[in-house]
Chains A and B, each alone.
Chain A
Amino acid sequence: QVQLQESGPGLVKPSQTLSLTCTVSGGSISSGGYYWSWIRQHPGKGLEWIGYIYYSGSTYYNPSLKSRVTISVDTSKNQFSLKLSSVTAADTAVYYCAREESYFDYWGQGTLVTVSS
């Protein structure tokens, strides 16, 4: 059974960089066949896909966030990470990591990140 777990600071100051890591267990990122995504959900709102990474390191980002997003992978640790720069209060959300093979079949439980001074 594949499991994903997000980790990282729950509070980030405006203009700083949000950094989160997703640790995958029960399956290997480097086995291929899946894309590994970050998705966020603003409080009480819908879902927004942020971007994905393949085990090889190839990435694709939501054009609306592309200028501020970096997703990386560490196959030795079976982890992938999200960095979102120059955050504002509008980036306050629950951030999920998820596995994708056309659709998102496994999700982390989500982590709330609040942007506030």
Chain B
Amino acid sequence: EIVLTQSPATLSLSPGERATLSCRASQSVSSYLAWYQQKPGQAPRLLIYDASNRATGIPARFSGSGSGTDFTLTISSLEPEDFAVYYCQQRSNWPPGYTFGQGTKLEIK
């Protein structure tokens, strides 16, 4: 099973600052990686797929990069509504399966 490790566990920043979140895979996942945002009491929302493609309706301040084992989610200038928990997720073709990272909590400083 591929393990995804996210860092940091918690990131404390202020609105307007730049956020950089990391996700490392235990083996190569090529570009088959997604990022999700989850707010309290809500389901996760797809932000980025295939490592760098924004999902429908996602603001341009969100961007993803990386391939292989190292991936980054960048929020260029934090808005108040961006403070949430972020998860990365990979998919395996065979055997089929999906794993998530443990999450990074982005909190207001």
Q: Which residues of A contact B (CB under 8 A)?
A: 37, 46-49, 52, 60, 62-63, 96, 98, 100, 102-105, 107-110
Contact = CB atoms under 8 A, between A and B. Distances in A.
B67 to A, nearest CB: 16
Query: For B32, B100, B103, which residue has the most chain A Cβ atoms within 10 angstroms?
Result: B100
Interface string B35-51: 01000001111100110
Interface string B78-109: 00000000010101000111111111000000
B100 A47 contact: yes
B43 A47 contact: no
A108 B103 contact: no
Given A49-B100, A62-B97, A103 B91 contact: yes
Nearest to B90: A103
